[in-house]
Each structure stands twice: as structure tokens, then as C-alpha cells.
């Protein structure tokens, strides 16, 4: 029982960390706030967001393998597959902003201008798509935990 509680707690910490750093990206990625320091901070936040997503995946897999319910139970649940599909979708949506942040940092390093307002707005839309899907994953998890 202690292992199950520990795995659940670590999974929850990973979820909260992911949400915090995704929210930070959404807050900072605005053309009116864009400067060199913000570009670099967005790139650092994105790395932390990646580590949080990996931690979330690893803690979820740990629960799958070492949790009390066992893998057979998890994979037999339709909402488990919905949750995993949404997680993969959020991961895929994060690629475009990640590449943009790296390009912006590279451009700054090479002495080029900050990204224009249209590019910042486009990148922010991708971040906001993720930010709106993550709570859906939580809702699916709640329904799943309640036996739906």
C-alpha cells in the first residue's frame, strides 16, 4: 500500500509540475512582453516542461507495472486509452512551440531580431491548445477513477 501511495504522489507531483510550466509558457508567450530575456526563459521553461512530461510518463508507467491494480486492469479500461491518446496528442502539440523557442534563441544568438508578433501569437495558440487539453486528461482520469 505504501508503494501505491508513493507512486500516486509522484505522479501527482509530475502532473502539477507539468501544469505549472505549461502555464508559465502560456503567460510569457505574448508579443507585448517579448524580449531577449523572455525568449531565453521560454526555452528554459520548455526544457523543464519536457522533464515534467517525461516524469509524468515514467510515474504513470511505474503505476502501470508496480501498482496494485496491475497492467491487465489498466489496459482493459477504455478511459485509460482515451487518457493516453490525449497525453500523446499534448506531446505532439508541444513540438511546434519547442522548435520555435529553440529557433528564437538561435536567432538571438546570431544577432537577429526577436520573433514578430504573428509568430509569437501562432506559437501561443499551440501552447493554449495544450493548456486546454491537459485539464480534459484530468477529467477523464477522475471519471476513470470513479469506475466509469
Q: What's the pLDDT tens digit per position in 9-35?
A: 999 999 999 999 999 999 999 999 999
Mean pLDDT value across residues 50-62: 96
* Whether the Cβ atoms of residue 131 and residue 22 lie closer than 8 Å to each other: yes
Average pLDDT, the chain: 94
Q: In total, how many domains does the chain have?
A: 1
pTM exceeds 0.85, yes or no: yes
Q: How far apart are CA 45 and CA 85, in angstroms?
A: 24
pLDDT of residue 39: 97
Total Cβ atoms within 10 A of residue 60: 21
All three cell numbers of 63, joined, read: 503505476
Contact 89, 133 (CB under 8 A): yes
pLDDT band at 128 (very low <50, low <70, confident <90, very high): very high
Which residue range forms the structural domain that includes residue 16?
A: 2-145
Average pLDDT over residues 30-59: 97
129 Cβ contact partners less than 8 Å away, ≥ 6 residues apart: 93
**Cβ–Cβ under 8 Å, residues 74 and 62:** no
pLDDT single digits (tens) 92-103:
999 999 999 999
Going from the C-alpha of 12 to that of each of 8, 69, 137, 141, the distances in angstroms are 6, 18, 13, 12
Instruction: Please give the DSSP secondary-structure letter assigned to residue 111.
Output: T
pLDDT range class, residue 1, cuts 50, 70, 90: low
The band of 147, judged by pLDDT with boundaries at 50, 70 and 90, is: confident
The answer to whether residues 93 and 129 touch, using CB atoms and an 8 Å cutoff, is yes
pLDDT digits over 68-98, tens only? 888 888 888 899 999 999 999 999 999 999 9
3-class secondary structure, 116? coil
Amino acid at each position: 500500500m505504501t508503494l501505491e501511495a508513493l507512486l500516486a504522489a509522484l505522479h501527482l507531483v509530475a502532473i502539477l509540475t507539468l501544469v505549472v510550466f505549461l502555464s508559465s509558457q502560456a503567460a510569457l508567450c505574448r508579443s507585448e512582453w517579448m524580449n531577449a530575456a523572455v525568449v531565453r526563459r521560454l526555452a528554459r521553461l520548455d526544457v523543464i516542461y519536457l522533464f515534467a512530461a517525461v516524469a509524468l510518463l515514467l510515474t504513470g508507467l511505474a503505476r502501470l507495472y508496480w501498482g496494485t491494480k496491475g497492467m491487465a486492469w489498466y489496459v482493459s479500461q477504455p478511459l485509460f486509452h482515451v487518457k493516453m491518446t490525449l497525453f500523446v496528442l499534448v506531446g505532439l502539440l508541444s513540438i511546434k512551440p519547442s522548435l520555435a523557442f529553440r529557433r528564437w534563441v538561435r536567432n538571438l544568438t546570431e544577432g537577429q531580431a526577436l520573433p514578430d508578433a504573428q509568430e509569437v501569437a501562432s506559437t501561443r495558440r499551440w501552447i493554449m491548445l495544450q493548456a486546454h487539453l491537459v485539464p480534459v486528461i484530468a477529467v477523464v482520469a477522475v471519471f476513470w477513477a470513479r469506475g466509469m
